[in-house]
Amino acid sequence: MNKNHLDGRLEQVRMQYNLYKKRPFDINITRGIPSRQQLELSKPLLNALDLSDWMSEDQQDIRNYGGLLGIKEARRLFSDILETSVEETLVGGNSSLQLMYAALMMEMFTGESPWSKEADVKFLCPSPGYDRHWSILERLGIQMIPVELTGEGPDMELIEKIVSQDSSIKGIFCVPTYSNPTGETYSDEVVERLAEMHTAAEDFLIMWDNAYVVHHLDDEHEKALNLLEACKKSGVPNRPYMFVSTSKITFPGAGVAAVGASEKNILRLAEELSKQIISFDKLNQKRHVLFLKDTNNIQQLMEEHAKILKPKFVWIQSILSAYFSGERKKFINWTNPKGGYFVHLTTRDGCATKIVDKMGEIGIQLTPANATYPYGVNPLDNSIRLAPSFIELDKLEVALEALCICIELVTLEKYGE
């Protein structure tokens, strides 16, 4: 842009922004949670129990204590989702994060050779990633090493190099399908390399959080390869813990979570959990089995979710691509995910925090810039997560138009010289 053109454009954008400032909005797009309309889809779950039959397939009274591994029919349903055997599957309570925390606590403090006895404990953190994974690691005093994502999983060359040399690197957190927030799915090659790589730490773990495994938005489905099978093939069956939950299938906070791992790890984890809880909520497990039935039925339910969610993702694509074309094309890159809950924006370096702040000043709350990096630190300051699921379409449109203005304003102010 020549100087006159640039000055003119800056003035126009500032004027538009000042108009927004005079009449601020009240819009929040920070939360990657289902909308009310989506929650309605699972209403029948609440009446799914058969009040004349309280026995599970494995003859447990689901109203009573017992059965820490989960009722048989729930273990079977989740083993179908996780592609594990029933014996390799534990069905827990309402949160997969809680199971992740329990697994890491066990390795850290109560396992055969607890990591906490070692001088340093480190984890690889494909970034941008899920901030609650980073919170767990931070809480447990595990040092985080960010690793770049490539569009089909983390940078494997770097990972292979460092894990083979440093025995204090004990694991990695992954969201292998429609990753939060970049929406990418790990390629088969990446999964195989994670399973096959030589690690200096013999007890290296892969925390495989498959939170979005059935959350497709398109007819074309993506899915990461079965990590447990790949690890078994390469002789490290105890390397992975694979997690799923129905938080974004039925009700967040009132769903059911499960973990898939080697039989040995499942039994170890059950023993650890038995010190925390007598049994999980088997009534909820049974309700979920009766409501969700099988993976085909889950797929149909997810198609109903997609009908509600997809227009929001399409809207984002069309507004951003209409605005950021021609001379504005270089201002921003964004993802176009085929599933999951997020769109990720990569701004020009040094702009993300200012853009999110500017949006905040006009009453539109976005997830804090760079929050998806370990310790919230991203030296490039270029990462913004959009979470469009909860907000109504008309508000999303207004928010996106304002976002385009804020991106242009901040980018021109920084790079327009």
Which residue of 17, 78, 130, 204 would you call a contact of ligand PLP, by CB under 6 A? 130
| Shortest distance in whole angstroms from residue 280 CB to ligand PLP | 13
Q: Which of residues 143-182 bind ligand PLP (CB under 6 A)?
A: 175, 180
| Shortest distance in whole angstroms from residue 111 CB to ligand PLP | 22
Alpha helix positions (H), 28-168: 36-40, 72-82, 96-105, 131-139, 156-165
C-beta of residue 88 within 8 angstroms of C-beta of residue 79: yes
Enumerate long-range contacts of 109-113, CB under 8 Å, 24 or more apart: 110/272, 111/203, 111/268, 113/203
Nearer residue to ligand PLP within complex by CB, 60 or 367: 367
Nearer residue to ligand PLP within complex by CB, 100 or 412: 100
Q: Which of residues 221-260 bind ligand PLP (CB under 6 A)?
A: 245, 247, 252, 257
Does the footprint of ligand PLP cover residue 97 (CB under 6 A)? yes
Residue 45 CB neighbours (<10 A): 20
Which residue of 103, 124, 136, 211 would you call a contact of ligand PLP, by CB under 6 A? 211
| Shortest distance in whole angstroms from residue 20 CB to ligand PLP | 29
| Shortest distance in whole angstroms from residue 344 CB to ligand PLP | 13
Per-residue tokens: 336: 């176009």
Nearer residue to ligand PLP within complex by CB, 247 or 378: 247
The residue whose Cβ lies closest to ligand PLP is: 245
Does the footprint of ligand PLP cover residue 95 (CB under 6 A)? yes
Nearer residue to ligand PLP within complex by CB, 32 or 126: 32
Q: Which of residues 352-411 bind ligand PLP (CB under 6 A)?
A: none
Nearer residue to ligand PLP within complex by CB, 132 or 233: 132
Query: Is 152 strand, coil or helix?
Result: coil
Tell me the C-alpha distance between 173 and 385, whole Å: 19
Q: Which of 293, 275, 266, 251 is nearest to 95 (CA)?
A: 251
Size of the site for ligand PLP (CB under 6 A): 13
Q: Which of 96, 166, 163, 153 is nearest to 126 (CA)?
A: 153
- Judged by CB under 6 A, the stretch of 95-103, 266-274, 309-317, 376-384 that binds ligand PLP is 95-103
Residues 6+ apart with CB under 8 A from 189: 152, 156
Residues 6+ apart with CB under 8 A from 293: 77
Q: Is the peptide bond before 311 cis (omega within 30 degrees of 0)?
A: no
Tell me the C-alpha distance between 177 and 198, whole Å: 24
Nearer residue to ligand PLP within complex by CB, 211 or 273: 211
Does the footprint of ligand PLP cover residue 209 (CB under 6 A)? yes
Q: Which residues bind ligand PLP (CB under 6 A)?
A: 32, 95-97, 130, 175, 180, 209, 211, 245, 247, 252, 257
